[in-house]
Each structure stands twice: as C-alpha cells, then as structure tokens.
C-alpha cells in the first residue's frame, strides 16, 4: 500500500505527497508547551488525566467569552436574529430570575423544547448558577418526559408550548416541581411564561445590561444530565461536568488544526463560520460538540423548525452557510434532491455528521459534488460527544473509519474480561478515557460501577484500531438500533409490544436504510387464537413511545423465536425475514 493509502480504501485520488505530517508529528507540534492545544495532567476523581490546559474553566466563563463577539449573529430562526450581546443579556436576566426562585448550585432544572433561540439561553442560565441542566428529548412522549423530570429530581421545569401540552396530564405525578415555565405557550393555567422573565428573543437586545449571577464552580462540578437509554430498564442520566463540555471546544479546534498540518498548510486563526444546525440541541452532538465551540469562536447557528431539504437549500444560499450536517440523512437528501442545481450551495465548506453509519459513497459524493470536505467522528452521551474526529483527506482516505482520538483521549480494545488489551487490529470492546468522560449515571450506583472504571468508560461498542490509531466501529454490543442519529433500544420497544394482549414473543432488529442507517423492525409471535395486524401493533407502540421508535415493518411467525442455550433470542437469524426491505435499501 502507498503512503497516502494505508487503509487501501480511499474514495478519491489524493496528492501522492499526502500526508505531509504523521499524526504523531502533528500532535507533538500542536500540543507543545505554550501552544494553543497544550496539555497538562490533573487529577479527576482520583485518576491522573490529560486535559486541555487552555480550555475555559466552566460554562460561565464560556458565556462571558461569547459576549466578546458583540453584535455578531449568534442564533437565527426564521426572521428572529439574536446577537451574542442580546443572548448574554437574556441569559443573565433569566439566571437572576431562577436564582430568585431559589435555584442554587446542584439543583436540577429540566427543560424540553424544539431548537429555539431560547434553548441555549436557558441552558446557560441554569449552568452559570452552578445548577444542573437536564435537557430532555423533545421527541419524547409525555410519559417519557415525566420520567426524566422525576428521575432527575428537577425543581423547575421549562418547556415550550408543545411539550407542555404533552406534560399537562402528568403534572400530578411530579410533586417536586415547584415551578412550570412555558415558552411560546398560550398562557396555560398554573404556569409562568418565560417571556415574563426574560422577554421574547426579538426584545433581548433591549434588556438591561446587568452582570450575571456568579457561583463558585469547579471544572469538575456537575453541569448536565443527558439521558441515554440502557438496553434494559428505564433511561439513565449521564452526569456531565463543566470540564466535559469545555473539552469539546479544544478537541474540535485540535482536530481541525491537525487536518491543516496533515495537508502541509499552516494552521489559520479561527474565523467565525455560519452553521445550519438541524439535529436537536438535546443531543450531546449539537449541544456539546457544536454549540460550545460555536460560542467560543463566534459562529452563527441557524435553526430550522423542521427539516426540509428545499428550505435548507434556501437558507444555505441566503445565509451563505459554511457547515451543515448532523446525520447522513441530511447529506443524502441534499445530494439527491432534484432541485439542487437551482440553489447556490457553493458556500458549503464542510458537511459533517455522526450518530449513524454512513456509506463510503456518501463521503465521495460530498467531496465531488459539493466541493466540501466530509467529516464524522465517534462519541457517545457518556463521553459528552467528541472522542475521535475524522475529516478532510483522512476521511476521504479511510471512509469506513471514525478517525483517530483527539490528543487528550485514549482508546483501548479489550477482551470480554474487561481487562486484557487486545493487539492492534483485533476486534473487541472499545474502552475510552479522557477529560470528556462523564462522572457516571445519576442515582444509579451499580450501573456506574459497571460502566465507569478507573477513568475509563466501557462503551459496549465492538471495534478495532489500526496501526496508526484510527478507530473502526465494527458492531454494537449493546442491543440497539441507530436510526438517523436516534438511539432506539430494543427492549423498550419490545416491552411496549409485550403489553399487547395478543403478543407472547417478540424481538426488535435493525434493518438497513440508505439514508437513516437503520430502522427498527419487529418479529412477533401471537398467542394461540389471538389476532393482531401490523398496523394495529404499530399504533399500539406509537401510543406509548416516541414516533421514531415505532417498527417500520412487522413480521409474524408461527413459532416462538429462536434462542440460544442461554435463552437469548438469535436476532441475526431473524433479519432474514426482512430480506426484501434490505434489498430495497441496498
């Protein structure tokens, strides 16, 4: 194999002289003493850990830094344009109001809303007080939202009008909630309008210039609870810290700088960019991996009320968007839309995504048809997003990889015993370590002890590392379907199906989808003498779980499902029942 094709899978011809610098050489240069990405070792929960020396100390420090961008647009939604200065004033105003309600360090404040200018404002108002922000999945049903609120012990709940309607009938289940605050609502009884506390986004720039409340915050204090379902039981809340979130700022910058050095170009000073963000802010990808760096660099973040390819192309043309993506679905729809040629998309510099498998063909077409550089990476809720980053020529050269780890992260492939480190190229369970690893699971000591060990997180992903340290995710040991970036845990859907009186045996499997990566499908065995149709069971699940979790297809079998000696259903054997759909997706 040639030097520029160590993996033997490049999707486009690359400069024969590439790379001009090895990963090790680039890392050494970027992390040298006095450099922007200098590292130091600190003790985190008793474990010596490499960290970014120049990362902001906490979310309040980042908020203050963001104010230096002044009148530059921070967020755009339709005709609502909020500057960095206006966002700072609104955030400080809401923080004072929450403090007056008794919100203090360590208190939990849950919130759920679509991607609105209010989302980052609420997030920072909570965390700059030293309180713990609990961003809930806005796609969840009322029952699912209620669980997150109750489990976190939130004393204040902030939602938009749509989420409040879902939660209204569950208020009686949540006696610990002291105040319900609704944004863009209809003046619901027993609630407080967010606009009465901080105004509506168009009025934020006229708010008083008052300093924000200050709190004594350590970098390793808790800042967030992001919920990530387990393969059994209820969702688990990953308890993140200020350092977790701040690490993403330098990790993103380091990865970009490394690409320049690999190309043989000097690393430029950071420049503000315009990003079209179409993935939900309640994901760590959008909140931690994207928003943190945007606020540090002064990027403009554009929201959409709902993804629509034509509207996205209109926005890209009008606002001269530089970066978009989120999940492969977005890139595919832009590439394949019949009206693409009608829009000027030449401002696009990068289309990045994660959270779902992507085909090498997509990597190639992004580069050839948009002239943009593709990007992806690997992370999880338990790592507060970025652990590996993959972009530019490295991604074109290794399109099936998730990239190498950032300089402060370590990866190991371990055997089933969770101790033995396997040789290079071996497939085993992926373990990750670094300052981005969360503290553990909220109020779940046993699950925390099983997953977080001496600074490492055992990911449940089956993976391998090549000789240069590039990560390849082979499969997911956890029983999960990944649909367009959304985790669908099989047991949750299976439990919903089991509630149906006619269902005695069932299993959820993931079947390929060209743009979403995977979709959930079900195999069901009915009780003797009982009947149920595919549509009936789909409606049954839809009434109990978020819409994206509903099986797209259901196959009925006459016998109980095949199991191994331990009683585990052999799901690989079941996927053949969906061969027709797999063929259509190929």
Task: Give the residue range(s) of CATH 3.40.50.12780 domains in the chain.
Answer: 23-55+239-408+435-447
- The fraction of the chain above a pLDDT of 70, given in percent, is 94
Give pTM, 2 decimals. Answer: 0.87
pLDDT at 585: 60
Q: Among 371, 332, 309, 250, which residue's Cα sits nearest to residue 515? A: 332
Query: Higher-confidence residue: 8 or 530?
Result: 530
Instruction: Answer positive or negative: Cα dihedral of 419, 39, 46, 216.
Output: negative
pLDDT (mean) for 563-586: 73
Q: Residue 355 — pLDDT band, cuts 50, 70, 90?
A: low
230-239 pLDDT per residue, tens: 445 678 999 9
Q: What is the pLDDT of residue 583?
A: 62
As a whole number, mean pLDDT of residues 556-576 equals 78
Query: Is the model's pLDDT at 99 over the cut of 60?
Result: yes
Q: Are 400 and 360 in contact (CB under 8 A)?
A: yes
- Tell me what the pLDDT averaged over the chain comes to: 92
3-state secondary structure 369-400: HHCCEEEEEEEEHHHCEEEEEEEHHHHHHCCC
Nearest residue to 118 via CA among 67, 183, 165, 69:
183
Residue 53 pLDDT greater than 60, yes or no: yes
Report which secondary-structure segment, H or E, holds 151: helix 142-152
Domain 61-68+84-196 sits in CATH 3.40.50.980: yes
More confident call, 410 vs 328: 410
Per-residue confidence (pLDDT) for residue 102, from 0 to 100? 98
Tens of pLDDT, residue by residue over 406-426, are 999 999 999 999 999 999 999
Question: What does the pLDDT read at residue 358?
Answer: 66
Phi/psi for 152 (5° steps) reads -75, -15
Report the C-alpha gap between 106 and 121 in whole angstroms. Answer: 19
CB 160 within 8 A of CB 116: yes
Q: What pLDDT was estimated at residue 2?
A: 32
Least reliable range by pLDDT among 111-115, 230-234, 449-453: 230-234
Q: Residues 354-364: what's their mean pLDDT?
A: 73
The mean pLDDT of 349-366, rounded to a whole number, is 79
Does the 23-55+239-408+435-447 domain belong in CATH 3.40.50.12780?
yes
Give me the mean pLDDT over the 109-118 stretch. 98
Alpha carbon of 84 to those of 18, 148, 198, 201, 298: distances in Å? 39, 31, 15, 12, 8
Task: Answer with the residue of higher pLDDT: 197 or 498.
Answer: 197
CB within 8 Å of 14: residues ≥ 6 apart? 4, 5, 393, 396, 397
Interval 291-327: pLDDT, tens:
999 999 999 999 999 889 999 999 999 999 999 987 7
Beta strands in 296-403 (DSSP E): 300-303, 323-326, 350-353, 373-380, 385-391
Token digits of residue 73:
């647009």
Answer with the residue of higher pLDDT: 515 or 350. 350
Helix crossing, 328-336 with 360-370: angle to 10°? 50
The pLDDT confidence band at residue 36, using thresholds 50, 70 and 90, is: very high
Q: Give the DSSP letter of residue 289.
A: I
CA torsion sign for 281, 287, 292, 297 is: negative
Q: Write out the CATH class of domain 487-585.
A: alpha beta
Give residue 461's pLDDT band: very low, low, confident or very high (50, 70, 90): confident
The reported pLDDT for the residue numbered 4 is 38
pLDDT digits (tens, 9 = 90+) for 513-549: 988 889 999 999 998 888 999 999 999 999 999 999 9
Give start-end residues of each CATH 3.30.300.30 domain in the chain: 487-585
pLDDT computed for residue 248 by the predictor? 96
Which whole number is the average pLDDT over 211-215?
Answer: 96
Closest to 137 measured CA to CA, from 550, 547, 553:
547
Between 565 and 506, whose confidence is greater? 506
Per-residue model confidence (pLDDT) at position 499: 86
pLDDT value, residue 1:
29
Which part of the chain is CATH 3.40.50.980?
Answer: 61-68+84-196
User: Considering Cα of 527, then 529, then 530, then 535, what sign does the dihedral take?
Assistant: positive
Q: What is the pLDDT of residue 5?
A: 38
Q: Say if residue 153's pLDDT is above 50.
A: yes
Contact 103, 130 (CB under 8 A): no
Q: How far apart are CA 363 and CA 332, in angstroms?
A: 10
The answer, yes or no, to whether residue 393 has pLDDT greater than 80, is yes
Average pLDDT over residues 486-498: 84
Q: CA geometry: angle at 339 spanning 335 and 345, to 5°? A: 60
What is the predicted pLDDT for the residue at 133?
99
């Amino acid at each position: 194999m040639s030097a520029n094709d160590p993996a033997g899978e490049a999707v486009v011809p690359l400069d024969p002289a590439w790379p001009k610098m090895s990963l090790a050489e680039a890392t050494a240069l970027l992390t040298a003493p006095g450099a922007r990405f200098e590292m130091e070792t600190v003790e985190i929960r008793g474990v010596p850990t490499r960290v970014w020396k120049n990362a902001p100390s906490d979310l309040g420090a980042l908020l203050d830094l963001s104010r230096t961008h002044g009148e530059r647009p921070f967020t755009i939604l339709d005709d609502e344009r909020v500057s960095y200065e206006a966002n700072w004033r609104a955030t400080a105003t809401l923080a004072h109001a929450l403090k007056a309600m008794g919100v203090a360090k360590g208190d939990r404040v849950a919130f759920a809303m679509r991607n609105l200018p209010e989302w980052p404002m609420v997030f920072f108002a909570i965390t700059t007080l030293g309180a713990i922000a609990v961003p809930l999945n806005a796609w969840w049903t009322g029952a699912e939202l209620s669980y997150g609120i109750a489990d976190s012990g939130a004393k204040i709940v902030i939602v938009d009008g749509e989420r409040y309607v879902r939660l209204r009938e569950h208020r009686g289940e949540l006696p610990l909630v002291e105040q319900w605050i609704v944004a863009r609502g209809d003046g619901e009884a027993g609630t407080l309008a967010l606009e009465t506390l901080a105004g509506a986004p168009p009025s934020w720039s006229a708010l008083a210039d008052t300093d924000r409340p200050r709190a004594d915050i350590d970098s390793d204090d808790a800042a967030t609870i992001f919920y990530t379902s387990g393969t059994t039981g209820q969702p688990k809340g990953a308890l993140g810290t200020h350092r977790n979130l701040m690490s993403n700022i330098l990790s993103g910058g380091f990865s970009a700088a490394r690409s320049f050095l690999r190309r043989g170009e000097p690393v430029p000073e950071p420049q503000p960019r315009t990003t079209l963000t179409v993935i939900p802010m309640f994901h760590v990808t959008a909140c931690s991996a994207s928003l943190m760096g945007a606020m540090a660099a002064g990027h403009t973040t554009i929201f959409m009320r709902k993804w629509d390819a034509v509207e996205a192309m209109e926005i890209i043309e009008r606002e001269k968007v530089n970066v978009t993506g989120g999940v492969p679905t977005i890139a595919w729809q832009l590439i394949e839309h019949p009206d693409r040629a009608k829009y000027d998309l030449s401002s696009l510099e990068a289309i990045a995504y994660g959270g779902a498998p992507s085909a090498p063909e997509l990597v190639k077409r992004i580069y050839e048809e948009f002239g943009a550089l593709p990007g992806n990476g690997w992370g999880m809720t338990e790592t507060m997003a970025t652990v590996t980053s993959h972009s530019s020529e490295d991604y074109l050269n290794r399109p099936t990889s998730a990239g190498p780890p950032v300089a402060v992260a370590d990866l190991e492939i371990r055997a089933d015993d969770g101790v033995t480190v396997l040789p290079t190229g071996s497939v085993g369970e992926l373990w990750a370590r670094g300052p981005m690893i969360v503290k553990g699971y909220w109020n779940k000591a046993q699950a925390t002890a099983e997953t977080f060990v001496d600074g490492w997180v055992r990911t449940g992903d089956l993976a391998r590392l090549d000789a240069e340290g590039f990560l390849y995710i082979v499969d997911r040991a956890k029983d999960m379907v990944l649909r367009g970036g959304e985790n669908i845990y099989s047991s949750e859907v299976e439990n919903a199906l089991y509630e149906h009186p006619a269902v005695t045996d069932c299993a959820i499997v993931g079947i390929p989808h060209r743009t979403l990566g995977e979709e959930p499908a079900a195999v069901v065995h009915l009780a003797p003498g009982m009947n149920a149709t595919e549509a009936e069971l789909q409606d049954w699940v839809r009434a109990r779980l978020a819409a994206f979790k509903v099986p797209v297809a259901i196959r009925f079998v006459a016998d109980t499902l095949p199991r191994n000696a331990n009683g585990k259903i052999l799901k690989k054997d079941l996927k053949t029942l969906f061969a027709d759909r797999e063929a259509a997706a190929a």
